[in-house]
């Protein structure tokens, strides 16, 4: 165990340690260990099959991916991720782990390993991606009956929001106790959250992260989701990161701003020395245009995700690009030459952050290495363009399976296993008879 982690645990008087990894869905898996056992017991071991859980806890036939004996993997703590868990009743720390084989190599099925793999491809070329995610989520009233629709919670006024309050300061202040505690938790958790706004939906909020390293930001997003849910529970409400939690309200996205810097010089490779956009900048955009539809399974990973990606719902249904054009799936914000960047507006907030980062960076890298040419920028509304993206989870699975370029980037074994997990998830969902079907079909057809 590294000296820095020992010092951290001693300095913060930690009693227990949450040792966590993420499965393909983005759910935290692992063990909670007493401090002494964490320090003296070596690395945590978990079966590799843990990575292959669907969101409802099932697993496909995992033998082709982990072997017939369901062997262990070694989970190695990353000392850069150790943090205090500020909402815990005792002094608890959390450490994110990397999944490794017994020979020390990364487990290909691990989402964190997939992102490390993609970042390694950039590093081979002397480049380092810089990302800044924006996350939307809903606060909703407590609801323990999944058959009942979600509703906005009551704030300090004693009334629930009934209309949309985009950018309203008063609407945010209505939940001051929640946000004050969340802000304190984010600061203690070292999450680097920059701004908070009220988004368009009733009870919908958005936070922005400071830009930085893609792996570090994926860790922060993963930890932030846990922090928001825990804070909401403490205030008698729920927080949800479903892509489309309420049928009459907009969906929730995780927009990802991205640029690439030259490691040797620190220069943004999207900008020429004279300040204009570089060829690599346009190649990157073209890569997003070409490959985001094939990678959509990692930007819209659940059946509910496709309810968000519908026309006139404040979500893109295309991969057109434009300058400061929010109707496009790919937006180029106004910025200085040094901060020139691309915003991928397609991902929902229900993504596994490691896979969403890996996928969007893979699309851009493919555009640069293949020297693809983008379409002309869209100068006006692209709301009417809705034929670029797969329409449902089944289509998205098929598109990813048929894209060898993304498989080469992300790892063929991972792509095969991920598609298997999602196919099982879709099959389980398809067996469900909905209330709409009972209401409109039971006695009428």
Q: Token pair of 130, please?
A: 């810089």
Residue 165, pLDDT above cutoff 70: no
Question: Do residues 137 and 228 lie in contact, with contact meaning Cβ atoms separated by under 8 Å?
Answer: yes
Closest listed residue to residue 19, CA positions, set 98, 90, 86: 98
What is the pLDDT averaged over residues 284-300? Answer: 98
pLDDT of residue 416: 97
**Dihedral of CA 73/29/58/425: which sign?**
negative
Measure the CA–CA gap between 59 and 353, rounded to whole angstroms.
Answer: 21
CA 66 from chain centre, in angstroms, equals: 25
Q: What is the DSSP letter of 363?
A: H
pLDDT in tens, 111-144: 999 999 999 999 999 999 999 999 999 999 998 8
DSSP alpha helix (H) spans, 208-265: 214-234
Measure the CA–CA gap between 147 and 9, rounded to whole angstroms.
Answer: 44
Q: Is 361 helix (H, G, I), strand (E, B) or coil?
A: helix
Using alpha carbons, list the distances in angstroms from residue 6 to 81, 89, 94, 194: 13, 21, 13, 30
Task: CATH 3.10.20.70 in the chain: give the residue spans.
Answer: 3-107
Find the helix or strand (DSSP H, E) in which 212 lies: strand 212-213
Closest listed residue to residue 242, CA positions, set 257, 231, 233, 253: 253
Q: What CATH architecture applies to the domain 120-436? A: 2-Layer Sandwich (3.30)
- Give residues with Cβ within 8 angstroms of 314, minimum separation 6: 200, 250, 251
pLDDT of residue 324: 95
pLDDT in tens, 402-439: 999 999 999 999 999 999 999 999 999 999 999 889 98
Measure the CA–CA gap between 314 and 382, rounded to whole angstroms.
Answer: 12
Measure the CA–CA gap between 420 and 414, rounded to whole angstroms.
Answer: 10
Find the helix or strand (DSSP H, E) in which 139 lies: strand 127-141
Q: Which residues, in sequence order, are bridge partners of residue 33?
A: 17
pLDDT in tens, 46-61: 999 999 999 999 999 9
Q: What is the DSSP letter of 337?
A: G
Residue 166, pLDDT above cutoff 60: no
Residue 149, pLDDT above cutoff 70: yes
Measure the CA–CA gap between 53 and 81, rounded to whole angstroms.
Answer: 24
Residue 173, pLDDT above cutoff 80: no
Closest listed residue to residue 400, CA positions, set 298, 288, 287, 294: 294
Pairing of strands 92-100, 16-22: parallel
Q: Helix %, strand %, coil % for the chain, to 5?
A: 35, 20, 40
pLDDT of residue 366: 98
Measure the CA–CA gap between 367 and 289, rounded to whole angstroms.
Answer: 9
Q: Token pair of 254, please?
A: 């995780």
Closest listed residue to residue 127, CA positions, set 254, 260, 306: 260
| Domain 3-107, classified CATH 3.10.20.70, yes or no | yes
pLDDT of residue 290: 97
Q: Is 74 helix (H, G, I), strand (E, B) or coil?
A: strand
CA 237 from chain centre, in angstroms, equals: 23
State the pLDDT confidence band at 161, using cuts at 50, 70 and 90: low
Measure the CA–CA gap between 43 and 72, rounded to whole angstroms.
Answer: 12
What is the pLDDT averaged over residues 68-85? Answer: 94
pLDDT of residue 330: 96
Question: Do residues 92 and 18 lie in contact, with contact meaning Cβ atoms separated by under 8 Å?
Answer: yes
Measure the CA–CA gap between 257 and 248, rounded to whole angstroms.
Answer: 28
Q: Is the pTM of this model over 0.75?
A: yes
State the pLDDT confidence band at 150, using cuts at 50, 70 and 90: confident
Measure the CA–CA gap between 254 and 258, rounded to whole angstroms.
Answer: 13
Q: Token pair of 303, please?
A: 């059946």
């Amino acid at each position: 165990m590294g000296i820095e982690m020992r010092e951290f645990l001693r300095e913060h008087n930690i009693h227990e340690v949450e040792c966590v990894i993420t499965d393909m869905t983005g759910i935290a898996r692992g063990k909670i260990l007493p401090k002494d056992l964490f320090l003296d017991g070596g690395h945590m071991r978990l079966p590799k099959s843990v990575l292959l859980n669907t969101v409802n806890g099932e697993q496909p036939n995992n033998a082709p991916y982990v072997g017939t004996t369901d062997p262990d993997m070694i989970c190695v703590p990353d000392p850069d991720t150790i943090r205090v868990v500020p909402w815990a009743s005792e002094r608890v720390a959390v450490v994110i782990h990397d999944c490794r084989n017994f020979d020390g190599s990364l487990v290909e099925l691990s989402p964190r390993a997939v992102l490390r793999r993609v970042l390694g491809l950039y590093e081979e070329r002397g480049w380092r991606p810089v990302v800044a995610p924006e996350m939307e989520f809903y606060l909703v009233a407590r609801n323990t009956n999944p058959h009942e629709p979600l509703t906005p919670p009551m704030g300090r006024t004693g009334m629930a929001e009934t209309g949309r309050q985009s950018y309203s300061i008063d609407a945010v202040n209505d939940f001051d106790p929640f946000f004050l505690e969340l802000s304190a938790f984010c600061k203690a958790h070292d999450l680097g959250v920059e701004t908070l706004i009220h988004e368009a939906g009733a009870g919908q909020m958005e936070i922005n992260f400071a830009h930085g390293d893609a792996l570090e930001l994926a860790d922060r997003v993963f930890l932030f989701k846990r922090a928001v849910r825990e804070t909401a529970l403490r205030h008698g409400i729920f927080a949800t990161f479903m892509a489309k939690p309420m049928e009459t309200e907009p969906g929730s996205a995780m927009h990802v701003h991205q640029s690439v810097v030259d490691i040797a010089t620190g220069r943004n490779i999207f900008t020429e020395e004279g300040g204009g956009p570089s060829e690599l900048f346009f190649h990157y955009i073209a890569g997003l245009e070409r490959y985001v539809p094939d990678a959509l399974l990692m930007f819209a990973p659940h059946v509910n995700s496709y309810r968000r990606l519908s026309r006139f719902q404040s979500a893109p249904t295309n991969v057109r690009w434009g300058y400061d054009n929010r109707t496009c799936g790919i937006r180029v914000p106004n910025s200085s030459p040094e901060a020139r960047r691309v915003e991928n507006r397609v991902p929902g907030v229900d993504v596994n952050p490691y896979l969403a980062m890996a996928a969007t960076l893979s699309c851009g890298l493919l555009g640069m290495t293949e020297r693809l040419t983008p379409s002309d920028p869209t100068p006006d509304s692209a709301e009417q363009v809705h034929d670029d993206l797969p329409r449902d989870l089944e289509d998205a699975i098929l598109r990813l399976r048929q894209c060898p370029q993304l498989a080469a980037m992300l790892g063929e074994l991972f792509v095969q296993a991920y598609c298997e997990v999602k196919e099982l998830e879709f099959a389980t969902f398809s067996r469900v008879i909905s209330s709409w079907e009972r209401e409109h079909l039971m006695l009428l057809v």
